[in-house]
Structure 1
Amino acid sequence: MFDQSRTQHPLTKTRRLQTDDCIIVDKSELRKAQIGAGVGNFIEWYDIGIYGYLAVTMTSVFTEGMDGRMGLLVTLLGFAVSFVVRPLGGMILGPLGDKIGRRKVLFFTMAIMAGATTTIGLLPTAGQVGLWVIIPLYLLKMLQGFSTGGEYSGAATYIAEFSPDRNRGFMTALLNSGSMLGFAVGAGVVAMTTAAATSAWGESAMHDGAWRIPFLLAAPLGVLAISLRSRIPESPSFEVAQAKSDSGDVDPIFVRHNLPNIVKFYWPQILIGCALIAADGTSSYMLTSYMPTYLETQVGSPAVHTAVAAVTVLLLQAILIPIVGRWSDRIGRRPIYTIATIGNLILLVPAFWLMHIGTLWSLYLAMFLVMVPSAFFLALTGAVMSELFPTASRYGCVGVTHNLSISIFGGTTPLVSQILVEVTGNSYAPAYYIMFFSAVALVAVLKMRESASRPLLGSVPVVSSRDEAAALVRDQDTNERIDTATMLLIPAPAEFVRTGMVR
């Protein structure tokens, strides 16, 4: 992995690692942090799930009177437009999180996200006020995108800094596992709402107003999430970095950079990260956000069958992601990425062929084949994005890298895929689109250095026990994962011990 900060500012090892340098994380605080951070990703993907699975219904609701095919593109553009402002959210909220702390920014993003999702459920329809209602719909999607720009990058940074180094892959993978659960719950809510509403009020029930129910449920979910986030502690690595900065003894790697300097010092890591996220994003958003529309419009699969299959496959993915994350802690990030990229190159064309058989078994098998490589990508996203950059500028760097790539490539996947199908007439075009980015990601994997189980750049080792810290100190001369030139070698401040953040 490139380390541009080290090539720009060579550092020397000032002293040896000592046991008191290590952060020993309290397990109860780690669990609290995991739940508080994960709930935001759950709600983010809940919204993506309900919007994706209601795309056909929302086309009739918000583009009534427009040509059906054009209306579908307008609806999918509403999904894509939220990603236009995601980089802006990352560029503003990321550096702000490096300045005032991860916890405060994550509290803000949660409130904005839940409020915007709920408000969509209160909008009038095109039949009531005309096609201009698309404007407030797009504005609310953009507001969601802005908050999301600071949400995942902040949550991934927060959990990566809070996790013991040897378990970071597993701990950060749980974020995306929660995301898939959020999407599955969103799809499940849509399926149950559709079944109950049509049974009670007829086939037009969803169009007549039942579509609002999944969006309005974001209100109680948001209240719960905000309550949980109000109780999470700050990242111990961020606190130590702040203490180092306040001491006046600051080496270049520990400087909090602004946006221009982030690009100046860390452009190699940004390029690697963007390539990985492009493959990750196109693969995951194909499965979660475009597949329902594709199966309904191109294959003719009933919406209920599609939703049930998606919930089943996404629940399996939620289970698989942390397993792969744990595996990456043991064998490394690069082997897992290699499996993910090659998996997409081999499995996607057979998966799309199976979809067009049109049977229930082929539908489940096809979605399973699309899901597996996506799970391997998602298992590594939080860990690797955080491992690419040093603590002082990590939130800003991850915010720029992740949101720029996910916005340009991931979020536009449903829209671009539909356009490719319409323009080329080739129903396999979406598969080729994903395969291209997987090939690019494979090149990026060859350029990155292995980062599993190493202390984060700009941070001291984070361990789960004092015995583990003592073992690191004892073996530091022979342990290739220990490089004190990248560490803040000061004892953990006494106030962290008093608060129970470390022990």
Structure 2
Amino acid sequence: MFEQSKEQHPVRPKTARRLQAGDCIVVDKDELRKAQVGAGVGNFIEWYDIGVYGYLAVTMTSVFTEGMDERMGLLVTLLGFAVSFIVRPLGGMILGPLGDRIGRRKVLFFTMALMAVATTGIGLLPTAGQVGLWVIIPLYLLKMLQGFSTGGEYSGAATYISEFSPDRSRGFMASLLNSGSMLGFAAGASMVAVTTAVTTSAWGDSAMLEGGWRIPFLIALPLGVVAIVMRLRLPESPSFEVAHAKAGSEDIDPIFVRHNLPNIFKHYWPQILIGCCLVAADGTCGYLLTSYMPTYLETQVGSDPVHTAVAAVVVLVLLAVMIPFVARWSDRIGRRPIYAMATIGNLVLLLPAFTLMQMGTLWSLYLALFLVSLPSAFFLALTAAVMSELFPTASRFGSVGVTHNLAISVFGGTTPLVSQILVEVTGNPYAPAFYVMFFSLVALFALLKMRETAARPLLGSVPVVSSREEAIRLVEGQDTNERIDTSTMLLAPEPAAPEAAGVR
């Protein structure tokens, strides 16, 4: 795949300029931990909101579409989930290139503040019973504001952590973002379950409709304040700093140029296409589990909302635990084998899972959700690292923002709405499973064109290592190490003598 990019962007061949220990970036472990927590908290809050909205979908149908046909009202509510994804590509297209220009941390600070304000705003909206159905308009606008911020949030966090992580463990380090996302969703589902239990026991069965639904959304405000304070202390990505410092070199190769949006499409369209196929499979699988299952189980199977929420929390916590283990495995055996397992897993497991759901028992509910979550764990373990590994450092934030947000908006975020429409139109309760299986099949073909990226330096960056000793070993073995290609690294033309070179 990257060979085509090389033809469009010729880079210098390997020359006498060899990699030196001083060229490598040695990661400061304390700063890495600070970066992981600071970046991960945004994804936690993003998925907290998705969890709250997903598990309150039926309740919010009554709140915001009162007087409308119930089935149409549910579609209107799910459309509110989908509209946030309409503007996600816009957020990625604006905030991504901006992050390549001014830095990752500044954009991440902005997206966090915007997300917290929008989520809190939903909790303050009046109901349709108070002001009429026009309240759907501000609901959609706030969801779109969330979508715009999210367009820069995940791509920025994935880029930031991937650039901060040692090459040999980048999959594991970056996967913690999605572990945090699953915990955030579990926290949102848990908050809905706890709020429902407490308010209904204290004020009756109608308590959630009469105002209890606001509580989970308003919790986003203190969470957002904590996240903003944490992000104020984030260091900048070391790979970005090196690339940014050398971006003004006169004879710089095109691969190291910070491209605008049209040139990103022009030069990196093969990577964008492959990335979109992988994210489409990832997104339809993930959002089926996290955002549509509550609605499906309540409306099609008749599951009790509390049982559904509790089962989802258990499965999502298990998913959060599985993700880093799978990612660590991918650092050892490669990304492509793990993706193959994920796609084949969906093709094999989804139909049995939906069959189990139709049984309507508690044990079948847990087992069905586990079967759906297993392939999702394999996808989510790779997303952050692989999206970052597809593109060079100089244009990485913008490229990841475009690729991830286009695919997740068109295919992932619309999964709840499309799945419900498919069930309504076809009358087939297995229709959502077939929808997800189709995109897994597409991803399996795209995988054939993807180059292996595990444990290699990021394109456009020098190697990132965990110690000076690792840097020395890497330099000594560079002639036989197929993962080292200095033509894709921004190296000074005349390095200092080895004994004088300092390790960054």
Q: What's the TM-score once normalised by structure 2's chain length?
A: 0.97
Q: What is the match of residue 441 of structure 1?
A: 443
Note the 1:65-80 alignment, pairs <5 A.
65-80=67-82
Which residue is 1:199 aligned to? 201
Deviation at 1:364, TM superposition (A): 0.1
Which of 73, 91, 113 aligns to 1:89? It is 91
1:2 aligns with: 2
What does residue 221 of structure 2 align with? 219
- The 8 Å contact of residues 165 and 453 in structure 1, kept in 2 or not, is answered as yes
Show the counterpart of 1:12: 13
Q: Which residue identity is paired with 2:28?
A: D
Give the Cα–Cα distance (whole angstroms) in 1 for the partners of residues 386 and 199 of structure 2. Answer: 43
Q: Deviations over 1:417-442 (max 9, x none)?
A: 00000000000000000000000000
Does residue 329 of the first structure (1) align with residue 338 of the second (2)?
no
1:376 corresponds to? 378
The residue aligned with 1:425 is 427
Match of 1:476 among 475, 478, 482: 478
Write the deviation string for residues 431-483 of structure 1: whole angstroms up to 9, x where unpaired.
00000000000001111111000000000000000011001110100000000
Counterpart-to-counterpart distance in 1, 2:73 and 2:398: 37
Can you list the C-alpha shifts for 1:310-364, whole angstroms capped at 9, x where unaligned? 0000000000001101000000000000000000000000000000101000000
Query: What is aligned with 1:183?
Result: 185
2:73 is aligned with what amino acid? G
> Structure 1 counterpart of 2:382, which letter?
L
> What are the within-5 Å matches in structure 2 for residues 277-288 of structure 1?
277-288=279-290
Instruction: Decide which of 260, 266, 269 is 2:268's aligned counterpart.
Output: 266
Q: Which residue of 2 aligns with 1:28?
A: 30
- Per the alignment, in what secondary structure is the counterpart of residue 478 of structure 2? coil
- 1:146 counterpart residue number: 148
Deviations 1:153-205 (A, max 9, x none): 00000000000000000001000000000000000000000000000000000
Q: Please list the CA deviations of residues 394-426 of structure 1 after superposition, one character each: whole Å capped at 9, or x if unmatched.
A: 000000000000000000000000000000000
Contact 1:3/1:269, CA 8 A, preserved across alignment: no
TM normalised by structure 1 equals 0.97
Which residue in 1 is equivalent to 2:167? 165
8 Å CA contact retained: 2:5, 2:270: no
Give secondary structure in 2 for the equivalent of 1:64. Answer: coil
The 2-side partners of 1:9 and 1:220 are apart by 47
Sequence identity of aligned pairs in percent? 82
Specify the alignment match of 2:134 in structure 1. 132
1:50 counterpart (52, 57, 75): 52
Post-superposition shift, 1:7?
1.7
Instruction: Please give the alpha-carbon distance, in whole angstroms, between the structure 2 residues aligned to 1:123 and 1:221.
Output: 19
The residue that corresponds to 2:41 in the other structure is: 39
> 2:349 and 2:355 mapped to 1: Cα distance?
10
Q: How far apart are the structure 2 equivalents of 1:127 and 1:173? A: 43
Amino acid at match of 2:357: M
Q: Equivalents in 2 of 1:104, 1:456: separation in Å?
A: 22
Distance 1:367 1:157 in 2: 30
Residue number among 230, 233, 238 corresponding to 2:232 in the alignment = 230
Output the CA distance in 2 between the equivalents of 1:243 and 1:21: 14
- The code of the aligned residue for 2:5 comes to S
Helix, strand or coil for the counterpart of 1:406? helix
Name the SS of the counterpart of 2:2 in structure 1: coil
Q: Does 1:461 align with 2:463?
A: yes
Q: 1: CA distance between counterparts of 2:444 and 2:350?
A: 16
Which secondary structure does the structure 2 equivalent of 1:245 belong to? coil
Report how many residues are paired: 496
- The whole-number CA distance in structure 1 between the counterparts of 2:380 and 2:169 is 16
| Contact kept? 1:4, 1:269, Cα under 8 Å | no
Contact 2:186 2:313 in 1 (8 A): yes
Structure 2 unaligned regions, length at least 5: 497-502
Asked whether the 8 Å contact 1:45–1:183 carries over to 2, the reply is yes
Q: Which amino acid aligns with 2:335?
A: R
- Tell me what 2:500 maps to: none
SS at match of 1:356: helix
Alpha-carbon distance change, 4 to 115 in structure 1, aligned in 2, over 3 angstroms? farther
Q: One-letter code of the match for 1:398?
A: V
3-state DSSP of counterpart to 1:74: helix
Aligned equivalents of 1:266, 1:457: Cα separation in 2? 12
Tell me how far apart the structure 1 counterparts of residues 319 and 367 of structure 2 sit (CA, whole Å): 13
Superposed displacement of residue 3, structure 1 = 4.5
| Matched position secondary structure for 2:54 | helix
Runs of 4+ in 1 over 4 A off after TM superposition: none
Are 2:9 and 2:267, in contact at CA under 8 Å, matched by a contact in 1? no
**1:488 aligned to 490, 496, 502, which one?**
490
Contact 1:98 1:256 in 2 (8 A): yes
Partner Cα distance (1:176, 1:297) in 2: 28
